Structure 1
Amino acid sequence: MKTPPCALLAEVRTFRQNHPDVRYVDLIALDIPGHFYGKRYPVEMLEKVAAGSPLKLPQNAVLLGVQGGLFKIGDYCFNDGDPDANRRLVPGTLKPVSWESQPLGQMLITSDGTPIEFEPREVLARVLQRLQHKGIHPMVAFELEFYLFDKKLANGLPQFPRDPLSDDADDQPNLHIERLSRFGVVLDDMAQTARDQGIDSTVITAELGPGQFEINFGHSDDALRAADWAALFCRSTRGVALKHGYRASFMAKPYLQFPGSGMHVHISLYDGAGNNLLAAHQQQPLRHAVAGCLQLLPHCMPIFAPNHNALRRLGGTVNAATRASWGFEDRDACVRIPESDPRNLRIEHRLASADANPYLVLAAILAGLEHGLETRQEPIAPLNDDRSSGTDFPVEMLDAVRAMQHHRVVRDTLGAEFVDVYCENKRQDHLAFQQEIHAREYRWFL
């Protein structure tokens, strides 16, 4: 439902009153690879947009590859005249930007009027609308892992972050809480900046990798807003890290010898009266939902592991699944069931990499839950009963794309147009990545 122009206009005017030094506002949206694109608007022009003036950006900006280039995808990009598409402001997202050298604001935008079928936020919105019509209301919380690096690269390679107390490299993998203190200044700034953006950030954990941390977000009954939080946190965290002399990265597997960074998503499902649907009938719907998740998981791998590096993360290290599996209180499973009371019974989907697109990850998980609740099939054995339980999923990008593009349920639940566009985008990105000879090839084959 659209917010009335008067409410948006009031939001912009209140922002201007509270932040009179801000002259420009970045209007931003997430593209298919998970990067923000948009325009920097003078704040006085933003008032006109809020009052109803059209806001247009090229439709094909959503289709950018990882490196920002355009690929020929069907008739898009090169045979369609590069048309503009209407966008609208997302209410409640106009916030100050504190990590830039000059005072700025930022605000999310999304499709307006005729939706862009392959826009990530629109894909999730369609899934949520369908669930709402069925009386299903998700409660969602994201968890994101990330690494800190030294600001300077060494021959293009990341360096361990310098411990601000000793000036030594933080090169020891551990879970010690003292690391939260040693990097407390930058971590506190990241958390406070997230809160300033309206993000309900909660627990911070020192993870196993050197310079690796995890941030948790509060549970939200607005699933779109929960995905907004995950996307905006990545943007603000990179900016805050640079301000403090570090690099922050959500790259899935920056070090082969250390754990990768994941995106964990907690989801409960409620009816209109607030009853937990997964807990009904001795938790039988939970089993159906798990079965649906596991059935669609191998066909959504380009979403959960969207690039060559993300596929490196799967298997071989701590708590990274190698097959589609589930279990109670088991972090080796793709789908974990945390211990909880019936009111808070939920799944934790642990497969996605931290650099995956949060809108698409959530859409794919919800599509799996929906499929399971409708087909009412029993899941495979949990890892608690059989440590070898699980089904294979593709770990090569071209195999993953083929498994996704022609799967009927994935096309029906996420949209056939989106699936075709997304799969071709991933295929072209993969082929472009291959078009470079690395030094290792000369060492091995010259």
Structure 2
Amino acid sequence: MKSHSSTLLAEVRTFRQNHPDVRYVDLIALDIPGHFYGKRYPVEMLEKVAAGSPLKLPQNAVLLGVQGGLFKIGDYCFNDGDPDANRRLVPGTLKPVSWESQPLGQMLITSDGTDAPIEFEPREVLAKVLERLQHKGIHPVVAFELEFYLFDKKLDNGLPQFARDPLSDDPDDQPNLHIERLSRFSEVLDDMAQTAKAQGIDITVVTAEIGPGQFEINFGHCDDGLRAADWAALFCRSTRGVALKHGYRASFMAKPYLQFPGSGMHVHVSLYDAAGNNLLAAHQQQPLRHAVAGCLELLPHCMPIFSPNHNAFRRLGGTVNAATRASWGFEDRDACVRIPDSDPRNLRIEHRLASADANPYLVLAAILVGLEHGLEAKREPITPLNEDRASGTAFALEMLDAVRAMQHQPVLRDKLGAEFVDVYCENKRQDHLAFQQEIHAREYRWFL
């Protein structure tokens, strides 16, 4: 513990030396809907925390709804006295913030690794899954891919406007999937990439996607699942900030346009033993088949994680590569679980169902639990799409049905934690009901 504090203290002091103009640091963590909450600390107080002073925030901040309100979930929020819970600093995440008007720093905080971790905190849920896999001799290597849209900074009566192409105001003139679009938006995209790298994020490939103003960023493969999810979370924060600085609005919203593809979160996962052998490739790839079967079995019960809001369900069954059934296939982007072509050393699954605005810690935790369950159950998967285009297992396409499918699933309750599952499902149920508490103009047009 003393060595751990010394490392943190050295990190803070080095940061202060390198950035003497920074007076405040945002201490941030991801809540259940995938938004950052936290506190802005004077940098000299941060040094005290690094040296061992307690860092406490309200436990129930993790339970915030999409709009920031608190819901009554069991005894939490309104019958528990709103207690504080200990957090700790995440080493290696203290970085400068370049997109704000004033010099600022930011650093991740978490409850995992404290004396009393919060059972429903997303990072803690993933940490428990990774710890259990490690005890079983399973070491995941993970890479996220995130799609997002650029919009004009100003909304039009609350509706998004296409990002203004420097060469044309006509959205039909944006060359989808062409390298030229990367050139047209190179100033903001380059800033996003450099800012991400300054945050310690290993970003690799940038792609112009099919939707107008839609792009995809790939991250490097990482042998630390928590760090891989940290990268995805931090990238969303920095990308929104950089976009605003350039006069755009960046959004990871799952389905901003009905007529164009939605934005997804694709996650590549391979599994290795302590000697570095790919577990999925052993015995003529039989463990790969078992892992796929486990993923597909649990996928319908994880839909509130993969599609965490009303809009995310709109993305499913859309225009491009978004399935409405749990399916798999080799080199098939219509499948929820795709097996990319690779050599045995790099054999992996690509989980393609989650929306870009899903919580990366929970998405990865759910995928890993599916793989773990499959390796233990050793069942054969359904027929791949390569052999039968109609293959697949139905899953809920509406939030309340999805919550009912998740809440009492025994494997999820065991491997993600019963307390987390109950809290998460009630949070999603309440968010969905709150979303319904507004009469849309179409209702008046149809029924008045």
Return the alpha-carbon distance in structure 1 between the equivalents of residues 222 and 56 of structure 2: 30
Q: CA deviation at 1:169?
A: 4.4
Mean CA deviation greater in 224-233 or 110-119? 110-119
Please say if residues 302 and 423 of structure 1, whose CA atoms lie closer than 8 Å, have aligned partners that are also in contact: yes
Task: Tell me what 1:442 maps to.
Answer: 444
Please say if residues 280 and 286 of structure 2, whose CA atoms lie closer than 8 Å, have aligned partners that are also in contact: yes
**Offset from partner CA, 1:360-382 (integer Å, 9 cap, x none):** 00000000000000000000000
Q: CA deviation at 1:167?
A: 4.8
Query: SS of the counterpart of 1:140?
Result: strand
Query: SS of the counterpart of 1:266?
Result: strand
Return the alpha-carbon distance in structure 1 between the equivalents of residues 173 and 158 of structure 2: 18
**Identical-pair percentage:** 91
Return the alpha-carbon distance in structure 1 between the equivalents of residues 113 and 95 of structure 2: 25
Q: CA deviation at 1:113?
A: 6.1
Moved over 2 A (4+): 165-173
Task: Tell me what 1:165 maps to.
Answer: 167
Return the alpha-carbon distance in structure 2 between the equivalents of residues 401 and 184 of structure 1: 41
Q: CA deviation at 1:168?
A: 4.6
Task: Tell me what 1:15 maps to.
Answer: 15
Return the alpha-carbon distance in structure 2 between the equivalents of residues 173 and 364 of structure 1: 36
Q: CA deviation at 1:353?
A: 0.1
Please say if residues 86 and 112 of structure 1, whose CA atoms lie closer than 8 Å, have aligned partners that are also in contact: no
Query: SS of the counterpart of 1:37?
Result: strand
**Offset from partner CA, 1:259-291 (integer Å, 9 cap, x none):** 000000000000000000000000000000000
Q: Kindly tell me: are residues 219 and 112 of structure 1, through their superposed partners in 2, closer, same or farther at Cα, counting changes over 3 Å?
A: closer
Task: Tell me what 2:432 maps to.
Answer: 430
Segments of structure 2 that go 5 or more residues without pairing to the other structure are none
Q: How many residues align?
A: 446
Q: Kindly tell me: are residues 380 and 362 of structure 1, through their superposed partners in 2, closer, same or farther at Cα, counting changes over 3 Å?
A: same
Q: Kindly tell me: are residues 273 and 376 of structure 1, through their superposed partners in 2, closer, same or farther at Cα, counting changes over 3 Å?
A: same
**Offset from partner CA, 1:6-43 (integer Å, 9 cap, x none):** 11000000000000000000000000000000000000
Return the alpha-carbon distance in structure 1 between the equivalents of residues 57 and 441 of structure 2: 40
Q: CA deviation at 1:136?
A: 0.1
**Offset from partner CA, 1:316-335 (integer Å, 9 cap, x none):** 31111110000000000000
Return the alpha-carbon distance in structure 1 between the equivalents of residues 45 and 163 of structure 2: 41
**Offset from partner CA, 1:242-274 (integer Å, 9 cap, x none):** 000000000000000000000000000000000
Alignment of 1:58-77 (within 5 A): 58-77=58-77
Q: CA deviation at 1:170?
A: 6.4
Q: Kindly tell me: are residues 247 and 417 of structure 1, through their superposed partners in 2, closer, same or farther at Cα, counting changes over 3 Å?
A: same
Return the alpha-carbon distance in structure 1 between the equivalents of residues 386 and 112 of structure 2: 47
Please say if residues 160 and 171 of structure 1, whose CA atoms lie closer than 8 Å, have aligned partners that are also in contact: no
Query: SS of the counterpart of 1:3?
Result: helix
Q: CA deviation at 1:165?
A: 3.2
**Offset from partner CA, 1:59-118 (integer Å, 9 cap, x none):** 000000000000000000000000000000000000000000000000000005651000
Task: Tell me what 2:105 maps to.
Answer: 105
Q: Kindly tell me: are residues 2 and 156 of structure 1, through their superposed partners in 2, closer, same or farther at Cα, counting changes over 3 Å?
A: farther
Return the alpha-carbon distance in structure 1 between the equivalents of residues 360 and 54 of structure 2: 27
Q: CA RMSD in A?
A: 1.1
Task: Tell me what 1:218 maps to.
Answer: 220
Task: Tell me what 1:5 maps to.
Answer: 5
Return the alpha-carbon distance in structure 2 between the equivalents of residues 2 and 228 of structure 1: 25
TM-score (norm 1): 0.99
Please say if residues 163 and 213 of structure 2, whose CA atoms lie closer than 8 Å, have aligned partners that are also in contact: yes
Please say if residues 209 and 216 of structure 2, whose CA atoms lie closer than 8 Å, have aligned partners that are also in contact: yes
Please say if residues 147 and 216 of structure 2, whose CA atoms lie closer than 8 Å, have aligned partners that are also in contact: yes
Please say if residues 56 and 85 of structure 1, whose CA atoms lie closer than 8 Å, have aligned partners that are also in contact: yes
Segments of structure 1 that go 5 or more residues without pairing to the other structure are none
**Offset from partner CA, 1:129-186 (integer Å, 9 cap, x none):** 0000000000000000000000000010000010123455466472111000000000
Q: Kindly tell me: are residues 355 and 232 of structure 1, through their superposed partners in 2, closer, same or farther at Cα, counting changes over 3 Å?
A: same
Please say if residues 405 and 420 of structure 1, whose CA atoms lie closer than 8 Å, have aligned partners that are also in contact: yes
Q: Kindly tell me: are residues 369 and 3 of structure 1, through their superposed partners in 2, closer, same or farther at Cα, counting changes over 3 Å?
A: farther
Please say if residues 397 and 430 of structure 1, whose CA atoms lie closer than 8 Å, have aligned partners that are also in contact: yes
Return the alpha-carbon distance in structure 2 between the equivalents of residues 4 and 150 of structure 1: 45
Please say if residues 145 and 262 of structure 1, whose CA atoms lie closer than 8 Å, have aligned partners that are also in contact: yes
Q: CA deviation at 1:3?
A: 6.3
TM-score (norm 2): 0.98
Return the alpha-carbon distance in structure 2 between the equivalents of residues 173 and 61 of structure 1: 43
Task: Tell me what 2:251 maps to.
Answer: 249
Please say if residues 72 and 78 of structure 2, whose CA atoms lie closer than 8 Å, have aligned partners that are also in contact: yes
Return the alpha-carbon distance in structure 2 between the equivalents of residues 328 and 113 of structure 1: 39
Please say if residues 112 and 124 of structure 2, whose CA atoms lie closer than 8 Å, have aligned partners that are also in contact: no
Please say if residues 124 and 360 of structure 1, whose CA atoms lie closer than 8 Å, have aligned partners that are also in contact: yes
**Offset from partner CA, 1:405-424 (integer Å, 9 cap, x none):** 00000100100000000000
Return the alpha-carbon distance in structure 2 between the equivalents of residues 46 and 380 of structure 1: 52
**Offset from partner CA, 1:282-306 (integer Å, 9 cap, x none):** 0000000000000000000000000
Alignment of 1:376-387 (within 5 A): 376-387=378-389
Return the alpha-carbon distance in structure 2 between the equivalents of residues 261 and 314 of structure 1: 10
Q: Kindly tell me: are residues 233 and 113 of structure 1, through their superposed partners in 2, closer, same or farther at Cα, counting changes over 3 Å?
A: closer
Please say if residues 112 and 127 of structure 2, whose CA atoms lie closer than 8 Å, have aligned partners that are also in contact: no
Task: Tell me what 1:119 maps to.
Answer: 121
Q: CA deviation at 1:2?
A: 9.2
